[in-house]
């Protein structure tokens, strides 16, 4: 579904992605982890063309997404993107946030957009918050609305950039539970997170990045086994010390 | 002090007519300058948002001129200064149709445009860049993101300041008296001179100003609350 | 333009002084500074009333502020210049009436600025003072006002800019300040109004632009100092 071929990226003279090659199979869930500054956010942002790359190719269903001929806006409607800080639109109610893509990109009327948007809110368990403003709901609820908004155009790919990092601990599980439900539904998912329990349970493959390099790409069984990469062991013990 | 307050003189006949005419002129000045000022302010904000140094500098110079020179002097520049640039025939015609009010509208509208564009600009600047990124990540074009995500927030953020400018403009219309526009303050002076009813003339006009100002203040607080943008 | 400056430069700067009345730019500056200095204590009183505990004083101050804000400055000047002498029974110099009107007007605005400065102080400051057993007067003058006034210095300088601009209204009641001097020049030299009012606008611009730049610098300095202080407190 998504293929990275020798992808490199620089910020000025600083190289942040080093020659990464990997593939994401259709319908699978990839969890990206690694120390901060390892380039995992940059890599997933490049899939949505929020970041340009200087070398290599990223293809989505066989098409080079950074090619000039690709309409970036059409590309993005096929990829849901969820940010660490939710980035809901504060002037719009919850339901209006979810309806916005249908109304402004699909040209639907409010009446047309309302039923699918309500259905999506029910799916994330927030139908009762439809009329609330983003300022009046919790962080966990905000992130679930953001996920609903990113799914409303039925994208083939869902990318999540540290979706639980800005949340209070008690709200992390509600978001992870939703993501777990989604990952079984046939969507291709790339999720940057440090939630290792989630990775073990949900991921088909886990990518470990360090200093811009993809140093380990393994299924969870291997990733969490004794035979894992030495970098991963160091990273895991650092995480455990933290928690 | 042998002064007896007697409002009956200014509350009827010719004097009341003059004051009401003044009120009408004040409201015309206020309404037209407000609309023109707001439109020009939007235009200036857009021009300044476009990354092109020469036009950005011009807008900045326009804004700074209007913020750092007294409005009365801006009125003088238009009324006394601009007239000499025009041919005599045009001037004669303008004087016949009462050009003062035109100059006053131009000066007040330009002045408000400068202030209001600054309010819009700071509204725009206080929106987190992540909002634009989120809008684009959905698949909206740059203009679409502006139209549906950025501008609806920007005007809400700018609203309290814009409403403040509205009150300042309303009071500022009184300065048009300085170039002979027969608006409310001008008529207050005139009626006072004619009738010798100084407290009644000023009292009535001051009361009118206060009532309208209070209405603007009340409307401002209602609108500001109604459209307040709450960001966590 | 140079010719105008040559012929009228002195008038523009100091009016007819020393042979006649002081005027021009010097008078504009004097009026502005005097107005600000007289406004200052009045504004502090309004601010204290606005932020104090007495309900009655609070609504009195708030009523004053709202009423003054509802009236054009020009109307206040008319009241002071034309009506006040009738009330007190003797004429007052136009310059004084201009200052009186500006002081009343600015008391409302500067009062709000200072009140905002007082309300912006961390609540802990007041509680600390109270826990030391300080009464209202020492708390206000030793703890609250010094900090609040320091933080609103940019706002005060900004009001000086506003006052300088507002003093141009003196030309309407023949106060011999800068704008009035130029109106006189204009009636002598009827053919050059664009140059004359250009010079006038430029003079105000230089003065007010410099002050507003200074305001910006002060704002940044004070903001830095405040955040610096927060860090020190956090470390301590």
The number of folded domains in chain C is 1
**What mean pLDDT do residues B195-211 have?**
94
Task: Give pLDDT, residue C171.
Answer: 95
Select the residue of A76, A91, A105 nearest B229 (Cβ to Cβ).
Answer: A91
Residue found by looking up tokens 């330009």 in the block: B110
pLDDT digits 0-9 by tens, C53-74: 899 999 999 999 999 999 999 9
Residue C105 CB-density burial (10 A; 0-12 exposed, 13-18 middle, 19+ buried): buried
C47 DSSP 8-state letter: H
CA distance C73 to chain B (A): 8
**What mean pLDDT do residues B161-179 have?**
97
Q: Which of A192, A208, A212 is nearest to A38 (CA)?
A: A212
Is residue B97 predicted with pLDDT exceeding 50? yes
Residue C137 CB-density burial (10 A; 0-12 exposed, 13-18 middle, 19+ buried): exposed
Is residue B91 predicted with pLDDT exceeding 90? no
Task: Give pLDDT, residue A165.
Answer: 93
Is residue B73 predicted with pLDDT exceeding 90? yes
Residue percentage of chain B with pLDDT more than 70: 99
Task: Indicate which of B123, B135, B136, B137 best probes the interface with A, i.e. most A CBs within 10 Å of its own CB.
Answer: B137
Cross-chain Cβ contact A90/B152 below 8 Å = no
Cross-chain Cβ contact C69/B177 below 8 Å = no
Residue percentage of chain B with pLDDT more than 90: 81
Collapsing DSSP states into helix, strand and coil, what is residue C46?
helix
Could you tell me the pLDDT band of residue C129, with boundaries at 50, 70 and 90? confident
Task: Give pLDDT, residue A203.
Answer: 95
Domain B13-226 has CATH 1.10.3720.10: yes
Closest-CA residue in chain B for A99?
B138
Cross-chain Cβ contact C209/B68 below 8 Å = yes
Which residues of chain B have a CB within 8 Å of the CB of C70? 209-210, 213-214, 217
Is residue B95 predicted with pLDDT exceeding 80? no
Q: Which of C160, C75, C64, C80 is nearest to C112 (CA)?
A: C64
Select the residue of B133, B141, B230 nearest A133 (Cβ to Cβ).
Answer: B230
Task: Give pLDDT, residue C5.
Answer: 84
ipTM confidence:
0.92
The residues that bridge with A192 in the sheet, in sequence order, are A32, A161
Phi then psi for residue A181, to 5 deg, are -60, -40
Chain B within 8 Å of A50 (Cβ-Cβ)? yes
Q: Is the dihedral of CA A97, A98, A100, A101 positive or negative?
A: positive
**What mean pLDDT do residues A72-99 have?**
96
Chain C within 8 Å of B50 (Cβ-Cβ)? no
Q: Which of B182, B180, B187, B183 is nearest to B202 (CA)?
A: B187
Task: Give pLDDT, residue C217.
Answer: 92
Residue C20 CB-density burial (10 A; 0-12 exposed, 13-18 middle, 19+ buried): exposed
pLDDT digits 0-9 by tens, B101-148: 999 999 999 999 999 999 999 999 999 999 999 999 999 999 999 999
Cross-chain Cβ contact A87/B130 below 8 Å = yes
Q: State if pTM tops 0.90.
A: no
Residue percentage of chain C with pLDDT more than 70: 96
- Whether the Cβ atoms of residue A9 and residue A53 lie closer than 8 Å to each other: yes
- Rounded to whole angstroms, the Cα distance separating A54 from A56 reads 7
Closest-CA residue in chain B for A160?
B137
- Rounded to whole angstroms, the Cα distance separating A95 from A88 reads 11
Task: Give pLDDT, residue C233.
Answer: 42
* pLDDT averaged over every residue in chain B: 93
Q: Which tokens is A27 given?
A: 């319908």
pLDDT digits 0-9 by tens, A166-219: 999 889 999 999 999 999 888 999 999 999 999 999 999 999 999 999 999 999
3-state SS string over A55-86? EEEEEECCEECCCCCCCHHHHHHCEEEECCCC
Whether C120 is in a domain gets the answer: yes
Chain B within 8 Å of A70 (Cβ-Cβ)? no
Cross-chain Cβ contact B171/C71 below 8 Å = yes
Whether C205 is in a domain gets the answer: yes
pLDDT, greater one: C190 or C146: C146
Select the residue of A76, A91, A142 nearest B137 (Cβ to Cβ).
Answer: A76
Task: Give pLDDT, residue C228.
Answer: 59
Its domain, for residue C135, covers: 28-235
Task: Give pLDDT, residue C234.
Answer: 42
Domain A2-242 has CATH 3.40.50.300: yes
- Whether the Cβ atoms of residue A87 and residue B134 lie closer than 8 Å to each other: yes
C53 DSSP 8-state letter: S
Instruction: State the number of CA atoms in the 13 A half-sphere of A226 facing the CB.
Output: 0
Whether C18 is in a domain gets the answer: no
Which residues of chain C have a CB within 8 Å of the CB of B71? 165
Q: Is the dihedral of CA A27, A204, A84, A2 positive or negative?
A: negative
Which residues of chain B have a CB within 8 Å of the CB of C161? 68
- Rounded to whole angstroms, the Cα distance separating C79 from B209 reads 14
- Other CB atoms closer than 10 Å to residue A8's CB: what's the count? 15
Could you tell me the pLDDT band of residue A242, with boundaries at 50, 70 and 90? low
The residues that bridge with A23 in the sheet, in sequence order, are A3
- Rounded to whole angstroms, the Cα distance separating C174 from C167 reads 11
Chain A within 8 Å of B93 (Cβ-Cβ)? no
pLDDT digits 0-9 by tens, A137-177: 999 999 999 999 999 999 999 999 999 999 998 899 999 99
In this structure, what CATH number is given to the domain that contains residue C70? Answer: 1.10.3720.10
Whether C5 is in a domain gets the answer: no
Is residue C81 predicted with pLDDT exceeding 80? yes
The domain spans of chain B are 13-226
3-state SS string over chain B? CCCCCCCCCCCCHHHHHHHHHHHHHHHHHHHHHHHHHHHHHHHHHHHHHCCCHHHHHHHHHHHHHHHHCCHHHHHHHHHHHHHHHCCHHHHHHHHHCCHHHHHHHHHHHHHHHHHHHHHHHHHHHCCCHHHHHHHHHHCCCHHHHHHHHHHHHHHHHHHHHHHHHHHHHHHHHHHHHHHCCCCHHHHHHHHHHHHCCHHHHHHHHHHHHHHHHHHHHHHHHHHHHHCCCCCC
Cross-chain Cβ contact A101/B152 below 8 Å = no
Q: Which tokens is A41 given?
A: 């956010």
Residue B205 CB-density burial (10 A; 0-12 exposed, 13-18 middle, 19+ buried): buried
């Amino acid at each position: 579904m998504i293929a990275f071929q020798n992808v490199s990226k620089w910020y000025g003279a600083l190289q942040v992605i080093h020659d990464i090659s990997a593939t994401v199979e259709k319908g699978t869930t990839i969890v990206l982890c690694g120390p901060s500054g390892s380039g995992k956010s940059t890599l997933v942002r490049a899939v949505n063309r929020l970041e340009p790359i200087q070398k290599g190719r990223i293809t989505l269903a066989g098409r080079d997404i950074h090619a000039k001929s690709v309409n970036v806006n059409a590309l993005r409607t096929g990829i849901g993107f969820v940010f660490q800080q939710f980035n809901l639109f504060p002037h719009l109610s919850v339901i209006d946030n979810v309806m916005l893509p249908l109304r402004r990109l699909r040209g639907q009327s409010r009446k047309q957009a309302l039923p699918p948007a309500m259905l999506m809110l029910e799916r994330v368990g927030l139908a009762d918050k439809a009329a609330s403003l983003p300022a009046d709901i919790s962080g966990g609820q905000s992130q679930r609305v953001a996920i609903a908004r990113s799914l409303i155009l039925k994208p083939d790919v869902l990318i999540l950039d540290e979706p639980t990092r800005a949340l209070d601990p008690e709200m992390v599980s509600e978001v992870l539970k939703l993501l777990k439900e989604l990952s079984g539904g046939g969507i291709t998912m790339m999720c940057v997170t440090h939630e290792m329990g989630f990775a073990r349970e949900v991921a088909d493959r886990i990518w470990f990045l360090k200093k811009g390099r993809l140093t380990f790409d393994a299924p969870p069984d291997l990733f969490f086994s004794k035979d894992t990469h030495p970098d991963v062991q160091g990273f895991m013990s650092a995480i455990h010390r933290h928690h | 002090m042998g002064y007896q307050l007697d409002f009956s003189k200014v509350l009827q006949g010719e004097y009341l007519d003059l004051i009401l005419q003044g009120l009408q002129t004040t409201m015309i000045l206020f309404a037209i300058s407000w609309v023109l000022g707001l439109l020009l302010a939007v235009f200036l904000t857009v021009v300044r948002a476009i990354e092109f140094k020469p036009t950005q500098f011009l807008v900045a110079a326009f804004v700074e001129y209007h913020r750092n020179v007294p409005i009365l002097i801006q009125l003088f520049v238009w009324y006394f200064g601009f007239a000499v640039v025009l041919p005599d025939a045009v001037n004669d015609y303008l004087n016949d149709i009462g050009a003062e009010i035109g100059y006053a509208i131009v000066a007040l509208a330009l002045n408000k445009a400068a202030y209001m564009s600054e309010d819009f600009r700071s509204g725009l600047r206080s929106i987190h860049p992540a909002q634009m990124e989120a809008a684009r990540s959905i698949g909206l074009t740059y203009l679409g993101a502006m139209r549906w995500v950025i501008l609806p927030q920007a005007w809400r953020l700018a609203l309290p300041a814009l409403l403040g400018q509205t009150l300042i403009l309303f009071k500022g219309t009184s300065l048009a008296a300085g170039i002979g526009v027969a608006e409310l303050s001008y008529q207050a002076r005139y009626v006072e001179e004619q009738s010798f009813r100084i407290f009644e003339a000023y009292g009535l006009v001051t009361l009118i100003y206060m009532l309208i100002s209070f209405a603007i203040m009340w409307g401002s607080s209602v609108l500001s609350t109604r459209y307040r943008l709450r960001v966590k | 333009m140079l010719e105008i400056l040559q012929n009228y430069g002195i008038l523009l700067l100091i009016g007819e002084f020393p042979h006649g009345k002081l005027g021009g730019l010097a008078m504009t500056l004097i009026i502005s500074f005097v107005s600000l200095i007289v406004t200052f204590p009045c504004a502090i009183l309004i601010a204290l009333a606005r932020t104090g505990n007495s309900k009655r004083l609070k609504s009195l101050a708030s009523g004053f502020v709202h009423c003054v804000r509802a009236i054009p400055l020009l109307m206040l000047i008319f009241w002071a210049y034309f009506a006040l002498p009738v009330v007190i029974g003797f004429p007052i110099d136009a310059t004084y009436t201009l200052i009186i009107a500006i002081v009343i007007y600015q008391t409302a605005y500067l009062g709000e600025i200072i009140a905002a400065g007082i309300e912006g102080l961390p609540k802990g400051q007041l509680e600390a003072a109270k826990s030391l057993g300080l009464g209202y007067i020492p708390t206000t003058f030793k703890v609250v006002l010094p900090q609040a006034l320091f933080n609103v210095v940019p706002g005060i300088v900004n009001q000086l800019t506003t006052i300088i601009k507002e003093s141009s209204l003196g030309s309407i009641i023949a106060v011999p300040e800068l704008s009035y001097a130029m109106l006189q020049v204009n009636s002598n030299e009827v053919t050059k109004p664009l140059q004359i009012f250009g010079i006038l606008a430029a003079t105000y611009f230089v003065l007010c632009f410099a002050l507003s730049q200074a305001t910006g610098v002060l704002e940044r300095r004070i903001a830095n100092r405040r955040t610096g202080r927060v860090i020190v407190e956090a470390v301590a």
